[in-house]
Amino acid sequence: MKLVYNKKLKDPSYYIQHSYRIGKSVKTMTVLVIGKHSELLKT
């Protein structure tokens, strides 16, 4: 699992992804959307 965010946005959204392999291909699934940066600073 990994924490991912978009670096190009002013207010990036953070989310957790899980990557797994099926044969030769790698699939990535978003497990949980944590929230936007501005929302996380409020809590």
The reported pTM is 0.69
Give 3-state DSSP helix, strand, coil % of the chain, rounded to 5.
15, 60, 25
Going from the C-alpha of 14 to that of each of 25, 26, 27, the distances in angstroms are 25, 21, 19
Given this model, what pLDDT does residue 12 score? 93
Backbone dihedral angles phi then psi of residue 21, each to the nearest 5 degrees:
-105, 135
Given this model, what pLDDT does residue 7 score? 84
Mean pLDDT, 10 residues at a time, the chain of 43 residues = 90 95 95 93 84
The residues with which 13 forms a beta bridge, in sequence order, are 36
